């Protein structure tokens, strides 16, 4: 399976951490500013935290970063876990305070030691990247695991990735598959994608194209453009012929391009997605259009100055190979993966039943279609 990943990361951990788990004080009702300040002055940690957030974001009160930070600090000193975590994000991002990665790590650790999953994940990320602390893959894995065991999907996925690669922990693709499954069953798109890839390649689990397709399908229901791209690629190039669906692949490839353009607010199209569109068109018998899209992918690849030369040459060879196939009116299909011999299935995975996946029907070979002149 062509390895493409969603580059969707949250640039502002503050908002994620703050609003995923607002204190019960704020959830019960929208308390007005006067009442909130009264409770905060009495030392109520939830009120101090909520008031601080509002002052930082300007939600319902006059925005005041400095006072907002002070209010959150008062809550943090009372061992308010969310407040401690937010102070970590404020120092990491330099919002309302001077950017200080070491201090950010300290606040994350304070909350993480008390069992707060978001802080455990953030501290793990600091160790993973060497931000504010010395880079330590083993400690990163340890903290990702702590958060993962609390059911935190991003941590489950991050820990699974460490297991899959053997980074800071003993390599185990089987354990990685299980942790990806935990995240995937909570509808976390990166986990669904990675689990699908394992089924597709037979790493940690036996090769199972139907399960791979089912997980790609579920992920593609999200607004993640790369999830739609992955399913389009699967339907166009899967080694199992009776799972091909060129028409649906074309629709998904177009959706991926549309979504990525909306997110980027530009007409720029990633060459990986253009490559997928070419494969989908070829699978649908539209070989002339496929040829034109593949030629464009080669041109855009050439313009990517940031890609290492070795990677560029590898992709260039792959793109040219596919172009030659389309010029011969032949769709591209990926080769059968070798898979891991000792891989065992995951009995906890009920995706086929959940998605009500039918047994695939044998499809007739796609005949070439006349060009519609739909150039790139």
Query: Using an 8 Å Cβ cutoff, are 294 and 319 in contact?
Result: yes
DSSP state of 241: G
Q: What is the pLDDT of residue 1?
A: 81
Q: What is the pLDDT of residue 20?
A: 46
Joined together, the tokens standing for residue 85 give: 């975590």
Q: What is the pLDDT of residue 62?
A: 94
Listed in sequence order, the residues at least 6 apart from 29 whose beta carbon sits closer than 8 Å to its beta carbon are none
Q: What is the pLDDT of residue 273?
A: 98
Q: How many CA atoms lie within 13 A of 183 on its CB side?
A: 29
Cα–Cα distance, 116 to 93 (Å, whole number): 20
Cα–Cα distance, 301 to 307 (Å, whole number): 9
What 3-state DSSP class applies to 363? coil
Q: What DSSP element (H or E) covers 86?
A: helix 81-93
Other residues' Cβ atoms within 10 Å of the Cβ of residue 136: 16
Joined together, the tokens standing for residue 178 give: 């299980």
Query: Using an 8 Å Cβ cutoff, are 230 and 213 in contact?
Result: no
Cα–Cα distance, 96 to 186 (Å, whole number): 34
Listed in sequence order, the residues at least 6 apart from 89 whose beta carbon sits closer than 8 Å to its beta carbon are 12, 13, 14, 17, 95, 104, 122
Cα–Cα distance, 239 to 23 (Å, whole number): 50
Q: What is the pLDDT of residue 367?
A: 60
Cα–Cα distance, 22 to 43 (Å, whole number): 18
Q: What is the pLDDT of residue 337?
A: 95
Cα–Cα distance, 150 to 327 (Å, whole number): 53
Query: Using an 8 Å Cβ cutoff, are 151 and 120 in contact?
Result: no
CA nearest 217: which of 230, 205, 204? 230
Other residues' Cβ atoms within 10 Å of the Cβ of residue 20: 9
Query: Using an 8 Å Cβ cutoff, are 284 and 249 in contact?
Result: yes
Query: Using an 8 Å Cβ cutoff, are 259 and 270 in contact?
Result: no
Query: Using an 8 Å Cβ cutoff, are 249 and 279 in contact?
Result: yes
Sequential pLDDT tens for the chain (376 residues): 876 544 333 333 344 444 444 554 554 346 789 999 999 999 999 999 999 999 999 998 999 999 999 999 999 999 999 999 999 999 999 999 999 999 999 999 999 999 999 999 999 999 999 999 999 999 999 999 999 999 999 999 999 999 999 999 999 999 999 999 999 999 999 999 999 999 999 999 999 999 999 999 999 999 999 999 999 999 999 999 999 999 999 999 999 999 999 998 888 899 999 999 999 999 999 999 999 999 999 999 999 999 999 999 999 999 999 999 999 999 999 999 999 988 999 999 999 999 887 776 665 555 666 555 444 4
**CA separation, residue 302 to residues 229, 266, 292, 297, 311 (Å):** 21, 20, 16, 9, 11
Place of tokens 């009776």: 242
Q: What is the pLDDT of residue 265?
A: 86
Cα–Cα distance, 344 to 362 (Å, whole number): 27
CA dihedral 251, 248, 371, 225 (to 10 degrees): 30
């Amino acid at each position: 399976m062509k390895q493409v990943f969603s580059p969707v990361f949250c640039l502002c951990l503050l908002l994620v951490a703050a609003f995923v788990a607002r204190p019960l004080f704020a959830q019960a009702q929208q308390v007005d500013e006067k009442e909130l300040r009264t409770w905060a002055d009495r030392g109520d940690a939830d009120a101090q935290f909520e008031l601080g957030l509002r002052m930082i974001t300007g939600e319902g009160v006059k925005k005041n970063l400095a006072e907002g930070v002070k209010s959150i600090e008062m809550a943090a000193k009372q061992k308010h876990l969310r407040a401690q975590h937010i102070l970590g994000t404020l120092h990491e991002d330099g919002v309302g305070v001077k950017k200080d990665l070491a201090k950010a790590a300290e606040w994350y650790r304070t909350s993480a030691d008390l069992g707060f999953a978001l802080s455990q994940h953030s501290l793990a990320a600091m160790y993973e990247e060497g931000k504010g602390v010395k880079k330590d893959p083993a400690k990163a894995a340890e903290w990702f695991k702590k958060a993962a065991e609390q059911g935190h999907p991003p941590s489950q996925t991050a820990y699974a990735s460490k297991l899959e690669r053997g980074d800071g922990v003993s390599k185990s693709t089987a354990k990685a598959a299980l942790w990806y499954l935990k995240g995937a069953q909570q509808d976390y798109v990166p986990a669904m994608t990675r689990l699908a890839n394992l089924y597709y390649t037979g790493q940690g689990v036996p090769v199972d194209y139907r399960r791979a397709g089912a997980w790609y399908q579920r992920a593609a229901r999200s607004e993640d453009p790369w999830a739609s791209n992955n399913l389009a690629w699967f339907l166009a190039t899967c080694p199992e012929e009776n799972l091909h669906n060129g028409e649906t692949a074309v629709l998904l490839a177009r959706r991926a391009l549309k979504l990525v353009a909306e997110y980027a607010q530009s007409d720029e199209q990633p060459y990986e997605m253009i490559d997928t569109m070419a494969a989908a068109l070829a699978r649908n018998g539209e070989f002339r259009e496929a040829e034109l899209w593949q030629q464009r992918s080669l041109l855009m690849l050439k313009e990517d100055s940031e890609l290492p030369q070795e990677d560029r040459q590898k992709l260039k060879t792959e793109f040219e190979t596919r172009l030659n196939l389309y010029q011969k009116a032949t769709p591209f299909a990926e080769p059968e993966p070798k898979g891991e011999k000792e891989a065992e299935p995951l009995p906890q995975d009920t995706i086929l039943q959940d998605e009500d996946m039918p047994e695939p029907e044998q499809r007739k070979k796609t005949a070439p279609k006349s060009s519609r002149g739909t150039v790139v």
